[in-house]
């Protein structure tokens, strides 16, 4: 099987949680690649996630960004950050012209379910309109202008297991052929974007690939997310909020395993195919909380076990009960499987957040 080798990669949402980890992973493993990181820097994006990378920064950044951002003094960086919106066609047009983009890894998305319930309009704009705009710019440069051979281009769309809806206790895990049944404005907007991406393959012949992942955890995750919330509550000795009775089940995937899975798919995957990427670790939310508490008891014992901080709160609207990913296809066809166990992964995450907590850094990244 021949491997696809990108040259000039546009990563959207690369200042977020998964995107920033992916950029770090790619720059450390592929010396041939040039990466352009396009991020709007909403609540979900944080340049601190990438502040130690050499970078050629624009002059029109927001005034409240950190003052110690790195600059590429020699002008030879393999990485460049651009502050912008994926809905801005003219900006995308200039990026494609200047950097000759042959690969898009599309992370940029509004992804917090609770926020989608309060304000769904932003999710429709970013996740649907933004994806459409990216597809159109790729179609213009890779198909209309005939400047590129589509065999040497890729549009890799990063999606979620939430598009499949919810499972009962004894239901089999989601596969790539599971019917979509989204239950929140967030998952509905992601499902719509998945359909758009697929339509550009069948209608125009755009070389697209889609991956749907399970819940990620690891360094640089937004502090609003479940696992960082639990870890930081333990560190601050504050109540640990758990929705409902904590019985909701998720499959957990370490972010670096996810990055390796994405790398595997866009290099070896079949154009037009969808691949599920999962961690093979299904647990109820309350069990995840207890695992973290036990780790915290060993690392930083208190008079009372950290489990005493657990506080059950009213369940959120549209809260899916169970997600589970069947990652058999990517393992059989492409040879990928998760390496990190949850115990080793959560220990590394606790250590990372502990270092950040002690240094009083502000955690702002996203999924």
Sorted by where each starts, the structural domains of the chain and their CATH numbers stand as 8-217+254-281+323-340 (3.40.50.720)
Averaged confidence pLDDT in the chain: 89
Nearest Cα neighbor of 104 from 169, 19, 199 is 19
- Mean pLDDT value of segment 132-145: 93
340 included as an active-site residue:
no
Q: How confident is the model at residue 326 (pLDDT cuts 50, 70, 90)?
A: very high
For 183-221, the pLDDT digits (tens) are 989 999 999 999 999 999 999 999 999 999 999 999 999
CA distance 159 to 63: 32
- pLDDT at position 367 over 60: no
pLDDT at 239: 97
Locate 232 and state its tokens. 């930081």
Say which of 48, 85, 110, 162 is annotated catalytic: 162
141 is catalytic: no
Comparing CA positions, the residue from 218, 221, 222, 226 lying closest to residue 244 is 226
Burial class (CB in 10 A: 0-12, 13-18, 19+), 145: exposed
Average pLDDT of span 249-271? 97
Decide if pLDDT at 117 tops 90.
no
Q: Quick one: pLDDT at residue 362?
A: 41
pLDDT for residue 151: 81
Question: Residue 73: which pLDDT band, with cuts at 50, 70 and 90?
Answer: very low
Position 224 scores a pLDDT of 86
Could you say which DSSP state residue 74 is in? T
Q: Cα–Cα distance between 57 and 33 in angstroms, integer?
A: 19
- Please tell me the predicted confidence (pLDDT) of residue 315: 87
Residue 116 binned pLDDT confidence (cut-offs 50, 70, 90): confident
Q: Any catalytic annotation for residue 176?
A: no
Tens of pLDDT, residue by residue over 276-305, are 999 999 999 999 999 999 999 999 999 999
| 23 within 8 A of 11, measured Cβ to Cβ | yes
pLDDT reading at 146 higher than 80 = no
How many Cβ atoms sit within 10 Å of the Cβ of residue 295? 19
For residues 230 and 242, what is the distance between their CA atoms, to the nearest angstrom?
Answer: 9
Res 97 pLDDT > 80 = yes
Q: Which of 79, 141, 164, 186 is catalytic?
A: 186
- Contact between 17 and 216 under an 8 Å Cβ cutoff? The reply is yes
Catalytic residue of the set 39, 48, 110, 161: 161
**Phi and psi torsions of 111, nearest 5°:** -130, 0
pLDDT grade, residue 13 (50/70/90)?
very high
CA dihedral sign, ordered 85, 91, 96, 99: negative
Instruction: Count CA atoms closer than 13 A to 106's CA, side-chain side.
Output: 34
| % of the chain beyond a pLDDT of 70 | 89
- The per-residue pLDDT for 360 is 54
pTM: 0.89
Q: Pick from 60-69, 143-152, 311-320 the range whose average pLDDT is largest.
A: 311-320
Residue 105: strand, helix, or coil:
strand
pLDDT at 76: 52
Rounded CA gap, 193 and 189, in Å? 6
Burial grade of 319 (CB within 10 A; 0-12, 13-18, 19 or more): middle
Tell whether the torsion through CA atoms of 67, 45, 78 and 353 is positive or negative: positive
pLDDT at residue 68, as a whole number: 46
Q: Per-residue pLDDT averaged across 258-273, rounded?
A: 97
Beta-strand pair 249-254/282-284: antiparallel
pLDDT band, residue 67 (cuts 50/70/90) = very low
pLDDT at 1 over 60: no
């Amino acid at each position: 099987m021949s491997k696809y080798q990108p040259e000039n990669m546009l990563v959207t949402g690369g200042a977020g949680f998964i995107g920033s980890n992916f950029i770090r992973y790619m720059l450390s493993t592929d010396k041939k690649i040039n990466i352009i990181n396009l991020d709007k820097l909403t609540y979900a994006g944080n340049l601190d996630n990438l502040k130690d990378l050499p970078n050629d920064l624009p002059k029109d950044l927001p005034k409240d960004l950190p003052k110690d951002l790195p600059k590429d003094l020699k002008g030879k960086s393999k990485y460049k950050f651009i502050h912008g919106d994926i809905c801005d066609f003219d900006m995308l047009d200039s990026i494609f012209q200047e950097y000759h983009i042959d690969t898009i890894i599309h992370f940029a998305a509004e992804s917090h379910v609770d926020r989608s319930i309060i304000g769904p309009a932003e999710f429709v704009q970013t996740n649907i309109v933004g994806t459409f705009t990216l597809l159109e710019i790729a179609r213009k440069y890779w198909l209309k202008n005939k400047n590129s051979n589509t065999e040497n281009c890729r549009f890799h769309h990063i999606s979620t297991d939430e598009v499949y809806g919810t499972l009962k206790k004894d239901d089999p895990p989601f596969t790539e052929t599971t019917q979509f049944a989204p239950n929140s404005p967030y998952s509905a907007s992601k499902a719509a974007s998945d359909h758009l991406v697929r339509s550009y393959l069948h209608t125009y012949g755009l070389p697209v690939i889609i991956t749907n992942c399970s819940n990620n955890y690891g360094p640089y995750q937004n502090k609003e997310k479940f696992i960082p919330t639990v870890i930081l509550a333990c560190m601050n000795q504050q109540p640990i909020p758990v929705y409902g009775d904590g019985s909701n089940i998720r499959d957990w995937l370490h972010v670096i395993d996810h990055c390796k899975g994405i790398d595997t798919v866009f290099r070896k995957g079949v154009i037009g195919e969808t691949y599920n990427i999962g961690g093979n670790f299904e647990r109820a939310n309350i069990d995840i909380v207890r695992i973290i508490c036990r780790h915290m008891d060993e690392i930083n014992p208190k008079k009372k076990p950290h489990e005493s901080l657990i506080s059950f709160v009213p369940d959120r609207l549209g809260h899916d009960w169970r997600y589970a990913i069947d990652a058999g296809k990517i393992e059989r066809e492409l040879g990928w499987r998760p390496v990190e166990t949850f115990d080793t992964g959560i220990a590394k995450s606790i250590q990372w957040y502990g270092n950040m907590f002690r240094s009083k850094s502000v955690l702002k990244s996203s999924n």
